Amino acid sequence: MKELSDQSKKKPALGAGRDYPRIYREFVEWFPDNESCINYLVKLRWPNGFSCPECNIVSEPWYQTRGRMVYPKCRHQTSVTRGTIFDKTRPPLTTWFEAAWHMTTANNGLSAKTLQRTLGTSYLTAWNMLHRYRIAMVRSEREQLSGIVEIDESFVGGVDLGGKRGRGTDKAIVVI
């Protein structure tokens, strides 16, 4: 019995393309603080060990304050967030990760106002987070759809107040 309880407490290995937190409680267990978020990003960004962006040699960096990393040979400074959507932002990584979790688990999308209320940030911060995430999700090499395309149907509207919509058409609203 004790073996089962010990095994259930073990966290799964974190890594790209693997398992992700399914429920909010799991999310909080995986990313309780900024350090766990930084460790996760380091594993995703440098799976084979840290390589200096300046001289491309794999080695263990020195760590300084505020998450900066210094390569011992060329003394180049970098951080795990440099060149990412988290670069040059003030909210802690835990807030960014929480925003990503809420964004990906929301059934009907997520507005900046809802994210503001959920995270307890300002509207501008919530809007900027969503904006950066949405830009990051766009594939620049995307192609126009061709052939047979399957789509889901969606219902739009609220209470039927009677009458015709707009200038008076009886046609249904098309949503894709």
Q: What total of structural domains would you count in the chain?
A: 1
Higher pLDDT, residue 5 or 97? 97
Kindly state the greatest CA–CA separation across the chain: 75
For residue 158, what pLDDT is reported?
55
For residue 17, what pLDDT is reported?
53
Judge whether 81 lies within some domain: yes
Residues in the chain, total: 176
**Of the candidates 132, 121, 21, 41, which has an alpha carbon nearest to the alpha carbon of residue 85?**
132
Judge whether 168 lies within some domain: no
Judge whether 43 lies within some domain: yes
pLDDT of residue 60 exceeding 50, the answer is: yes
Q: Is 124 helix (H, G, I), strand (E, B) or coil?
A: helix
Judge whether 16 lies within some domain: no
Judge whether 3 lies within some domain: no
Query: What is the domain extent for residue 94?
Result: 21-135
Q: Is the Cβ–Cβ distance between 107 and 121 less than 8 Å?
A: no
Judge whether 13 lies within some domain: no
DSSP string, 41-93: HHHHH-TT--B-TTT--B-PPEE-GGGEEE-TTT--EEETTTTSTTTT--S-H
